[in-house]
Amino acid sequence: MVTVGAAAFPAARPEAAPRRVTILGATGSIGTNTLSVIAERAGSFAVEAVTANTNAERLARAARTAGARLAVVADPAAYGDLKAALAGTGIAAAAGDDAVREAAERPADLVVGAIVGAAGLLPTYAAIRAGRQVAIANKECLVSAGRIFMRAAAERGVTIRPMDSEHNAIYQALGGRPIDEVEQIIITASGGPFRTWSRERMAAATPADALKHPNWSMGRKITIDSATLMNKGLEVIEAHHLFGAPTEKLDALVHPQSVVHGMVVFNDGAVMAGMGLPDMRVPIAHCLCWPETGPLAGRRLDLAELGSLTFERPDRARFPALNLARQALDTGDWATNILNAANEVAVAAFLGGRIGFLEIAGLVEQTIDRVSAQSVPAVPDSVEAAIALDREGREIASELVRMHRTR
């Protein structure tokens, strides 16, 4: 990443033993990229534990290649396959949600939170409570329970390293300067595959259309979030918690080239931009190596070859999810929690062919309305309360999907 501006990081630490890293969600897009950076920096890192949901074969392969001590699947039904695939390797196998949480708590220098969705809440939170340093890709944790996560991190002296490319760029552009000196934080969006589509065309978009992201190769859920721009909404909420920035200081701009990932406008008008080719290995390497910057092979940004960078305001009529997320942030923690839960249900329903593309945002809005009509929920003050509220949001959203299908 070419970062414009100085980053005020501590001095490099003396030569040390390899850093022990645990990867939650090791079989996914972020998990695989994390393992690829670790493989490139052999000697600098050692893998403590890797986890997945059901994909035992892929997890076992990752554990063997990385030389992990422990591999865990959340789904107990996948335990037999995992155990068989690890036979004779000396790598321990375990299964179940409690085993994933225990893996997150094991001594390690860094835990990478790369589970998708609210399923990542408990294990990522457990890592923070155990005092592990954490790099977070799983933005849903911060959307569902950001205040609880940030409070736990402060109490335990944990620095949450932002792995999401936009937040990583902003973190570097901020260079440790206080939020009082910042006028605006700008998160960029590629605009997704439907940036230039009419609303009528978007209404008929299939999952295959929505999964064709123009610039990034990512997991299915975040790719759909990018197509609705809910991803940017989630990222605005994520930035609010990570950087302590009020809503009015947070903005999103469409930037189809995905080269500028984030910008910070300071009080004096100076703008620092975090830039780089769209390659998640760059922010991942930053989080793994922090506070140093380690070498990473790969293509480099050539601005002359690119010629021009363009920016436009998001079309909030075709992409209402962005406003929904901002409104939820202004409403309060219960609303961002329900927004996230309903969005996960709606994205799964769209991918399963049960609702249309434009109905994703509608379903999220209806779920928030229904929850507040029943009685405004209390602000969740513990991770357990956040999970209970998430469950309530999912039930209502699932009911709305069922009603939609019988219409």
Ligand X SMILES: NC(=O)c1ccc[n+]([C@@H]2O[C@H](COP(=O)([O-])OP(=O)(O)OC[C@H]3O[C@@H](n4cnc5c(N)ncnc54)[C@H](OP(=O)(O)O)[C@@H]3O)[C@@H](O)[C@H]2O)c1
- 117 is written with which tokens? 């969705």
With respect to ligand X, which residue has the nearer C-beta, 219 or 256? 219
Region 225-284 residues binding ligand X, contact defined as CB under 6 A: 280
Is residue 100 part of the contact set for ligand X (CB under 6 A)? yes
Alpha helices (H) along 290-320: 303-306
From residue 293, alpha-carbon distances to 3, 224, 302, 314 in Å are 12, 32, 20, 33
- Residues making up the chain, counted from first to last: 407
- Sign (positive/negative) of CA torsion 50, 54, 56, 59? negative
Is residue 219 part of the contact set for ligand X (CB under 6 A)? yes
Which of 21, 22, 25, 319 touches ligand X (CB under 6 A)? 25
With respect to ligand X, which residue has the nearer C-beta, 28 or 377? 28
From the CB of 372, what's the least distance to ligand X, in Å? 26
Which of 121, 134, 222, 260 touches ligand X (CB under 6 A)? 222
From the CB of 365, what's the least distance to ligand X, in Å? 21
With respect to ligand X, which residue has the nearer C-beta, 343 or 367? 343
With respect to ligand X, which residue has the nearer C-beta, 250 or 280? 280
With respect to ligand X, which residue has the nearer C-beta, 3 or 33? 33
Q: Is 117 left (phi over 0), alpha (psi -120 to 50) or beta?
A: left
Q: What single DSSP character describes residue 301?
A: -
> CA 201 to CA 341: how far, in whole Å?
27
With respect to ligand X, which residue has the nearer C-beta, 29 or 367? 29
From the CB of 158, what's the least distance to ligand X, in Å? 19
| Nearest residue relative to ligand X (C-beta) | 28
Which range, of 36-44, 108-116, 201-209, 325-333, touches ligand X by CB under 6 A?
108-116
Q: Residue 42: CB partners within 8 Å, gap ≥ 6?
A: none
Q: Which of 12, 6, 36, 25 is nearest to 289 (CA)?
A: 12
With respect to ligand X, which residue has the nearer C-beta, 74 or 108? 74
- 200 is written with which tokens? 């009528």
Is residue 191 part of the contact set for ligand X (CB under 6 A)? no
Is residue 335 part of the contact set for ligand X (CB under 6 A)? no
Cβ contact 188:232 at 8 Å:
no
SS3 label, residue 356: coil
From the CB of 352, what's the least distance to ligand X, in Å? 15
Helix (H) or strand (E) holding 49: strand 45-52
Site string for ligand X, 136-175 (x = CB under 6 A): -xxxx-----------------------x-----------
> CA 210 to CA 224: how far, in whole Å?
6
Cβ contact 173:264 at 8 Å:
yes
With respect to ligand X, which residue has the nearer C-beta, 258 or 367? 258
Is residue 101 part of the contact set for ligand X (CB under 6 A)? no
Which range, of 29-37, 104-112, 147-155, 381-389, touches ligand X by CB under 6 A?
29-37
Is residue 349 part of the contact set for ligand X (CB under 6 A)? no
From the CB of 2, what's the least distance to ligand X, in Å? 19
Is residue 218 part of the contact set for ligand X (CB under 6 A)? yes
- 401 is written with which tokens? 């999907």
Half-sphere exposure of 8 (CA within 13 A, CB side): 5
Report the relative pairing of strands 2-3 and 271-275 from DSSP bridges.
antiparallel
Which of 35, 63, 114, 346 touches ligand X (CB under 6 A)? 114
Q: Residue 295: CB partners within 8 Å, gap ≥ 6?
A: none
> CA 119 to CA 231: how far, in whole Å?
17
What does the binding site for ligand X look like in residue numbers (CB under 6 A)?
25-31, 52-55, 74, 100, 114-116, 119, 137-140, 164, 216, 218-219, 221-222, 280
